[in-house]
Amino acid sequence: MGIETGTVMLSTIGPEVVLVLAALGIMMTDLFVKSDSEQPFLMWIGIVGILGALAVSLSVWGREVAYGFYGMVVVDNFATFFTTLLLIAGGLTLLMSSGYVRTQGIAPGEYYTLTLFAMTGMVLMGQSTDLIMLFLGLEVLSVSLYVLAGMVQDSRRSAESSLKYFMLGAFSTGFLLYGIALLYGACGSTRLADIASVLAQKQILKEPMLLAGMGLLLAGFGFKIAIAPFHMWAPDVYEGAPTPITGFMSVGVKAAAFAALLRVFAGSLSELGIQWKELLWIGSVLTMTIGNVAALRQTNIKRMLAYSSIAHAGYILIGVVAGGAAGTGAVLYYLLVYTLTNIGAFAVVIAIERKGERNLNLDDYAGIGSRHLALGTAMAIFMFSLAGIPPFSGFMGKFYIFSAAVKEGYIGLTIIAVLNSLVSVYYYLRVIVMMFMKEQAAGAEQAAIFFHPTLVSVLLIAVFFTVQMGLFPSSYLQLAQDSIKMFL
Amino acid sequence: MGLISTLIFLPLAGAAMVALGPREKPGLLRGIALTTSVITFLLSLGLLTRFVAGEGGFQLVETHAWIPGLGITYRVGIDGISLFLVLLSTLLSVVAMAASWSDIKVRVKEFMICLLFLETGMIGVFVALDLFLFYVFWEVMLIPMYLLIGIWGNPARRIYAAVKFFLFTMFGSLLMLVAILVIYFYHGKTTGMYTFDLMSWYNLKLPLSMQIWLFLAFGLAFAIKVPMFPFHTWLPDAHTEAPTVGSVLLAAVLLKMGTYGFLRFNLPLFPEATVMFVPLLAGLALVGIIYGALVAMVQADVKRLVAFSSVSHLGFVVLGIFALNVEGMTGAMLQMLNHGFSTGALFLIVGMLYERRHTRLIADFGGLSKGMPVFATFFLIVALSSIGLPGLNGFVGEFLVLLGAFQAEPLWAVVAGLGVILAAVYMLWMFQRVMFGEVDKEENRGLKDLNMREGALLLVMVLFIIQFGVYPKPYIDRIEPSLKLVIKRVESRTALHQSAAGKPATPAARQATALHSSTTQHHN
């Protein structure tokens, strides 16, 4: 590959630098924030930082590939795509946190700072071309999220969520590190490009150490993405974490981990494709099926969305298994539409949720569609989109994934996937049934819905893109294709 | 924007206007919706004048780029098969809007938006010539119908019915989606052109082993929609629980999408498989005819009775299609339109009864004809049309179907003929119990006869019923050339297939010879 970059090239991590500066800015400003009404100021610092990072990131779109830190990070379209996606997800998360943080009594300074740190880690993951750097990004993001998951005050569930996430996260990190160590042992390098060139000589393809390393690496990623059978932590963690963070985890961590998964497996370990594709095929089927079937029985909306998010990881894995330009492009497009739709769904949950984990049961949604038509319609659009019903973007995402799978001859997998999405229709429809077709039980208190202006803006953005990306997906599909060109 | 696109998007524009309208003035919202659908209907009449009768191919085709990267275009057009189905959709939408005037009192705004969305979906399904576009319309339509049943339906079981409707239809269509993708890539690999364009797909020669699976995948989606026995179980629930307007549109238009799908996709795309599956499909159609009629006979609820009669009538349509000759298919096409009017009108009538008495049980009625003579007259005409009385619309279609079936396999005609008799039994018996006899219940005394609006609605339907029955030629002239094209596609390919396999005459060959010998003269 000939990456002889003897320089640090700080500009390659421009977005990360801006994010960290903004995070530090929030930390400093927090010292001077005295009253509740000044809190939103902290969020706006974060938003400005994200916009700045976005500008830095987008300015290099389409430019020549640049390596930094002696070839440990890269700026290419693939990285830029994920950086942008993660920044958008993070930005929307901040916007929908503003009101939530106040009503839930969460310390705002720490909350926003940690969210930005988590984003930094995610962005770094998408840019890493070295397993060590990848690990570093993963840890930055994980440690921030361990804390964020436990930030709801006086909530046992939140504390449980944090501890559980930490324990299992640490466990999975062990897997990942061991996998990296074994790969290093087998290939003599942690650089993705070097590993690829060693494997290209095909001498060590049967080496047990290599295969074990690959398997452990896969398990490590599996934990982060919540691929069955490594998904057990997700529902509990998602349920207990502050709702905006749950939304952020369900899209951000997933996107970052998939970015790394693609770089490592589709990119560097492609010689071992037969082996890991088989594993991921099974993983995909298990993930979809377990996620969807378990979601059927949930009564708590956050748990339901957690299982739904597991199921969606299963669909995305189909794209990874299919591979090629179509499959990889489908993964990117799917992550994009899933991010915007799912963030929207969580924004609705936040609007309805009350302090003390109230109004999180599906029963609490009864009759909301008739009292707040706009909110109900927005949720209906997100649910239809997640269920994969046209003309919403979720359908286009699934269509693109399925078409890649059929193209590569995975027809059996596609049929399992469409049957799974049939199962998922049932629980997504249940939300709509609750909101529009049931009336609130007599005597139940009618909770005021919480329309914070920034939250409304998130809803509007999410609805707009969920519809627009479904009706006119062409430019986004092209974007996804442009992002993987240099990487394939 | 061409005429067809205008028809598709005008209801959407109307929906947007209703959405912006004031919630406190339901009358205004109804007015906007009704005006939109009336304008759409009037514009759709333009299709009739611009359509060149006697040509079988697609006309008024519009093509716009949509997702070029995947070979997806926005392509719409009509032929003889879809022309009248589009008109049926636009007309029945007007009827539905008008019929909901007094029926729907809560959430009028959302209701009208749903109806207008539904209209867009219905028109779209019939005119889409790109498989992706077709699939999008096919699925989009589920959403408004699901909401119509689930929100404005009968309180007791509406949610169950709505979800069942959604899941059943979705099940079939998802497998169809996989099949569409398989054909797309096969087309791409063999011709080098990746496209969802139906016209290109018509030239594709799929190997028989693939055709069988693809036929089953498409066929399942359509069979559920029709619905054919044994996939019909969603229908009685959906019909019974839906509000009147929902039932009318479901019966009159949505069910036709299944039979339309067979004609438009299964037959021309998978000709060899079609011939192979004729015994299965015709067999299921016959079972449906008899089963639907028998079950209709024992229903205690008028609406359920009409719902099961649909299963029976749609059996005729499928039988006509799989007779694979001009008579049968023409009969099937006419029967699709007839069923739209007759059963649509029957559901309106049941709705009117329900509005007056708040019950649909046959046992609760009796002797209504004395107090409601005008209503009784309309009801009788519609009931007779549903039975297939000569001079009314049902007769023409049923007769042609029987004729076609007889040419294909005499036994089919015998069994289907039995269905005609059973139809008379259940329909007339119901009519007798509801309308004639003594007025033995106090509540049935002094029921109001039809008001102007109701009378006008039924009058429109009955006029069509009579016009169709007396002079069906203009319809047949426009429908037939397109059907012949479908038959030609099936015939040419299956003949090839047989010579390759070196097999002696199969039913298809017999049908082919029957086709050549049969004239295309029509009575009336």
* DSSP label of B362: G
Q: Which two tokens stand for residue B451?
A: 């008001």
Q: What is the pLDDT of residue B14?
A: 92
Q: What is the pLDDT of residue B449?
A: 84
Cross-chain residue pair A436–B147, CB shorter than 8 Å: yes
Q: Which two tokens stand for residue B415?
A: 């069994």
Cross-chain residue pair B162–A437, CB shorter than 8 Å: yes
> In chain B, which residues have their Cβ closer than 8 Å to the Cβ of A473?
67
Q: How far apart are CA A55 and CA B130, in angstroms?
A: 40
Sign of CA dihedral B183, B188, B194, B200: negative
Q: How far apart are CA B90 and CA B41, in angstroms?
A: 5
Q: Which of A444, A232, A396, A402 is nearest to A315 (CA)?
A: A402
Q: What is the pLDDT of residue B25?
A: 87
Residue A296, chain B, CB below 8 Å: the answer is: no
Q: How far apart are CA A480 and CA A331, in angstroms?
A: 9
- For the cut 60, the answer to whether the pLDDT of residue B339 exceeds it is yes
Q: Which two tokens stand for residue A202?
A: 């095909």
- Find where tokens 């719902």 sit: B307
Answer yes or no: are the C-beta atoms of A76 and A487 closer than 8 Å: yes
| Three-state SS annotation for A350-409 | HHHCECCCECCEHHHHCCHHHHCHHHHHHHHHHHHHHHCCCCCHHHHHHHHHHHHHHHCC
Pairing of strands A73-75, A66-68: antiparallel
- For the cut 60, the answer to whether the pLDDT of residue B346 exceeds it is yes
Q: What is the pLDDT of residue B366?
A: 84
HSE-up (13 A, CA, CB side) for residue A291: 32
Nearest CA in chain B to A403: B181
Rounded to a whole number, what is the distance in Å from the CA of B512 to chain A's nearest CA? 36
B40-59, pLDDT tens digit by residue? Answer: 999 999 988 888 888 888 88
Share of chain B above pLDDT 90, in %: 54
Q: How far apart are CA A351 and CA A447, in angstroms?
A: 11
Q: How far apart are CA A266 and CA A133, in angstroms?
A: 18
DSSP assignment of B459-515: HHHHHHHHHHHH--HHHHHHHHHHHHHHHHHHHHHHHHHHHHHT----HHHHHHHHH
- Return all residues near B333 (Cβ < 8 A) that are at least 6 apart: B81, B84, B263, B320, B397, B479, B483
B125-181, pLDDT tens digit by residue? Answer: 999 999 999 999 999 999 999 999 988 888 888 889 999 999 999 998 999 999 999
- Return all residues near B189 (Cβ < 8 A) that are at least 6 apart: none
Q: How many CB pairs under 8 A join A and B?
A: 79
Answer yes or no: are the C-beta atoms of B131 and A389 closer than 8 Å: no
Q: What is the mean pLDDT of each run of 10 residues along chain A (488 residues)?
A: 60 90 93 81 93 92 83 89 95 92 88 95 93 94 93 86 92 92 92 89 85 93 90 91 94 94 89 89 94 93 94 95 91 95 94 82 86 90 93 93 93 93 91 86 69 91 94 91 80
- The amino acid occupying position A352 is I
**ipTM of the shown complex:** 0.91
Q: Which of B170, B75, B60, B172 is nearest to B124 (CA)?
A: B75
Q: Name which of A135-149, B97-111, B470-484 the model is least confident about.
A: B97-111
Burial pattern B398-420, b for ≥16 Cβ within 10 A else e, equals bbbbbbbbbbbbeebbebbeebb
- Return all residues near A68 (Cβ < 8 A) that are at least 6 apart: A5, A7, A8, A9, A10, A11, A12, A13, A74, A75
Q: Which two tokens stand for residue A309?
A: 């998010």
Predicted model pTM? 0.91
- Find where tokens 């449980």 sit: A160
> In chain A, which residues have their Cβ closer than 8 Å to the Cβ of B162?
433, 437
What angle do the packed helices A156-187 and A208-225 form, to 10 degrees? 160
Residue A155 backbone dihedrals phi, psi, to 5 degrees: -120, 115
Nearest to A436 among B140, B150, B181 (CB): B150
Q: How far apart are CA A256 and CA A222, in angstroms?
A: 13
Answer yes or no: are the C-beta atoms of A166 and A107 closer than 8 Å: no
> In chain A, which residues have their Cβ closer than 8 Å to the Cβ of B171?
422
Residue A88 backbone dihedrals phi, psi, to 5 degrees: -65, -45
Residue B170, chain A, CB below 8 Å: the answer is: yes
Q: How far apart are CA B244 and CA B239, in angstroms?
A: 9
Q: What is the pLDDT of residue A287?
A: 95
What angle do the packed helices B271-297 and B302-322 form, to 10 degrees? 150
Q: What is the pLDDT of residue A447?
A: 65
Q: Which of B133, B54, B48, B59 is nearest to B91 (CA)?
A: B48
> In chain B, which residues have their Cβ closer than 8 Å to the Cβ of A425?
166-167, 170
Q: Which residue has the higher pLDDT, A395 or B355?
A: A395
> In chain A, which residues have their Cβ closer than 8 Å to the Cβ of B163?
426, 429, 433
In chain A, the N- to C-terminal Cα span, in Å, equals 14
Long-range contact list for A79-82, CB < 8 A, 24+ apart?
A: A79/A126, A79/A127, A79/A259, A80/A483, A81/A332, A81/A479, A81/A480, A81/A483, A82/A123, A82/A126, A82/A255, A82/A256, A82/A259
**Residue B189, Cβ density class (10 Å: 0-12 exposed, 13-18 middle, ≥19 buried):** exposed
Nearest CA in chain A to B162: A433
> In chain B, which residues have their Cβ closer than 8 Å to the Cβ of A433?
150, 159, 162-163
Rounded to a whole number, what is the distance in Å from the CA of B274 to chain A's nearest CA? 23
B254-300, pLDDT tens digit by residue? Answer: 999 999 999 999 999 999 999 999 999 999 999 999 999 999 999 99
- For the cut 70, the answer to whether the pLDDT of residue B519 exceeds it is no
Q: What is the pLDDT of residue A140?
A: 94
* Angle, CA of A409, A410 and A413, to the nearest 5°: 160
User: What are the residue boundaries of the structural domains of chain A, listed by start?
Assistant: 10-484
Answer yes or no: are the C-beta atoms of B254 and B141 closer than 8 Å: yes
Q: How far apart are CA B195 and CA B71, in angstroms?
A: 4
Residue B194, chain A, CB below 8 Å: the answer is: no
- Find where tokens 């693609």 sit: A262
- The confidence band for B439, taking pLDDT boundaries of 50, 70 and 90, is confident
> In chain A, which residues have their Cβ closer than 8 Å to the Cβ of B140?
389-391
Q: In sequence order, which ranges of B128-202 are alpha helices (DSSP H)?
A: 131-140, 142-152, 158-191, 198-202
Is the bond preceding A391 in cis, omega lying within 30 degrees of 0? yes
A89-116, pLDDT tens digit by residue? Answer: 999 999 999 888 888 888 899 999 999 9
Q: Strand locations in A14-169, DSSP E?
A: 66-68, 73-75
Nearest to B171 among A422, A433, A473 (CB): A422
Q: Mutation test of the interface with chain B: which of A371, A399, A400, choosing the one with the most B Cβ atoms within 10 A?
A: A399
Residue A467, chain B, CB below 8 Å: the answer is: no
Q: Which of B181, B173, B172, B169 is nearest to B210 (CA)?
A: B181
Q: What is the pLDDT of residue A104?
A: 86
Q: In sequence order, which ranges of B388-409 are alpha helices (DSSP H)?
A: 393-408
DSSP 3-state of B358: coil
Answer yes or no: are the C-beta atoms of B411 and B374 closer than 8 Å: no
Answer yes or no: are the C-beta atoms of A315 and A280 closer than 8 Å: no
